[in-house]
Amino acid sequence: MTIRVRQQPRNRRCSALRTKVPLVTLALAVAGCGSSAAPGAAPESPRTPAASHGPPTPGTASALPGRTRADAAPATASASTSAPAATCTDRYLSGMTTAQRVGQLLMGGISASQPDQAQLRILRDNHVGSVMLTGRSTAGTTATRKLVDGFRGQADQVAGRRVGLLVSTDQEGGRVQVLSGPGFSAMPSGLTQGSWPTATLRTQAAAWAGELKAAGLDLNLAPVADVVPAALGARNIPIGSFQREYGHTPDVVTSHTGAFAAGFAQSGVMTTLKHFPGLGQVIGNTDTTANVVDSVTTADSPSLTPFRAGIQAGSPFVMISSATYTKIDPNHLAAFSPTVIDHLLRGQLGFKGVVISDDLGNAVAVRSFTPTQRAVNFIAAGGDMILTVQPSTIPAMAQGIQTRMGQDASFRAKVDDSVRRILDAKHNAGRLDCG
């Protein structure tokens, strides 16, 4: 997402990796196996609009309610899922029902401070495979861990094995920090982080990641890889006005997103490069504004360097912007553009990980599309994981994908490919039982 802090923005995703690529690559290779770093002092709160400031409700209030409807029979695996020796993810995929497969494509937003039971039931009934903690919580690591453990205990099973949830949040720093309180450090803004030596940032990032890991999270929807030109500065509403950028040149943004991602990988927490192909050249915020247009960025722009370097270093997730890029694909929002996702991101830049959307649930940028259209268009364009901070959109999204799967074999194959990429990420995070 972009960002909203009450009358301000909501954010979303990005991590570019470069500095000392061999080190970053090594660190990424151990993501999901990492250690916990010592937590820091109590921080400042983050991001979403009418976010609650009270502590999360622990215990049973955090548990996902049980399902009340029967599942369909397991879907038949597509040709792309069969292999001479079944891998762990293949075993999970082949045992899933169609509804379970579709659920893996969804990440639903749940308040970090006051989880709503009706929203939790929607996630459970639709087999949603990933959760994003939203709003702001000052409860600290211990209470957050209790909340997350409640979610995890209700995750789907396939052949008696739990399909572990991925749990994420927006923990960039500055005004975009969802989780704070005892055990969480106060993270400075991206612009401040960008003024530090990269070695310092890498060390700090490893500690911040350790705090998230202690709270039970797997994935940070950060850091921001967008390059905001100095001449645009705070007039760039989604990024510059909140000092979310690491700097004003591709070199600075590349080195510091790389350091941030390497530190997180060192502590076993995945990161997300966002918002591809960049929100540095726009004025409007896609969360609060329709028809946000970048008329500058091309497929060869230097501002893509942080994304390119991060992908080469092994970034596991890339988040797609919901702006329109007239010099890349003038006819589609980036999130619905095969040119942006399949051709540029996957083809030209060689990204093989999980493509996650910016918010497709509440963002004004996508309001002219029905929830079904948003979900189907994103998957058809090459996306993998649909982020919605509005769980009420999930039933229509899930049903729309299932309907399209029944009509279109090539779309069905895309779904299976996306589920496999997501399961691979869960495997790397230690969330699948592969014994």
Nearest-5° Cα angle at 192, 219 to 205: 30
Q: What is the pLDDT of residue 435?
A: 77
Nearest-CA neighbor of 272 among 387, 377, 162? 387
213-235 pLDDT, tens digit each: 999 999 999 999 999 999 999 99
Task: Indicate the Cα dihedral angle 224, 229, 231, 236, nearest 10°.
Answer: -40
276-291 pLDDT, tens digit each: 999 999 999 999 999 9
Give the CATH number of domain 21-58+101-428; options: 3.20.20.300, 3.30.43.10, 3.40.50.300, 3.30.420.40: 3.20.20.300
- Residue with the bigger pLDDT between 339 and 84: it is 339
What percent of the chain stands above pLDDT 90? 79
pLDDT band (50, 70, 90) for residue 1: low
Nearest-CA neighbor of 102 among 429, 427, 378? 378
Nearest-CA neighbor of 49 among 156, 178, 227, 167? 178
350-380 pLDDT, tens digit each: 999 999 999 999 999 999 999 999 999 999 9
Which tokens sit at 250? Answer: 């591709």
Query: What distance in Å separates the CA atoms of residue 135 and residue 109, rounded to the nearest whole number?
Result: 9
3-state DSSP assignment of residue 413: helix
- Tell me what the mean pLDDT of segment 164-177 comes to: 98
Kindly state the helix (H) or strand (E) to which residue 177 belongs, with its residue range. strand 176-177
Q: What is the pLDDT of residue 434?
A: 86
Query: What distance in Å separates the CA atoms of residue 127 and residue 107, rounded to the nearest whole number?
Result: 10
240-256 pLDDT, tens digit each: 999 999 999 999 999 99
Residue 46 has pLDDT above 50, yes or no: no
- Residue with the bigger pLDDT between 60 and 306: it is 306
pLDDT band (50, 70, 90) for residue 148: very high
Domain positions in the chain = 21-58+101-428
Look over the chain and give the mean of its residue pLDDT values, rounded to a whole number. Answer: 85
pLDDT band (50, 70, 90) for residue 391: very high
Residue 40 has pLDDT above 80, yes or no: no
φ, ψ (nearest 5 deg) of residue 134: -120, 175
Query: What distance in Å separates the CA atoms of residue 351 and residue 342, rounded to the nearest whole number?
Result: 9
400-435 pLDDT, tens digit each: 999 999 999 999 999 999 999 999 999 999 999 987
Hey, what amino acid is at 116?
Answer: D
Per-residue buried b or exposed e for 6-39, using 16+ beta carbons within 10 Å of the residue's own CB: eebbbbbbbbbbbbbbebbeebbeebbebebbeb
Q: What is the pLDDT of residue 19?
A: 36
Q: What is the pLDDT of residue 86?
A: 52
- Residue with the bigger pLDDT between 1 and 66: it is 1
Residue 321 has pLDDT above 90, yes or no: yes
195-217 pLDDT, tens digit each: 999 999 999 999 999 999 999 99
What percent of the chain stands above pLDDT 70? 80
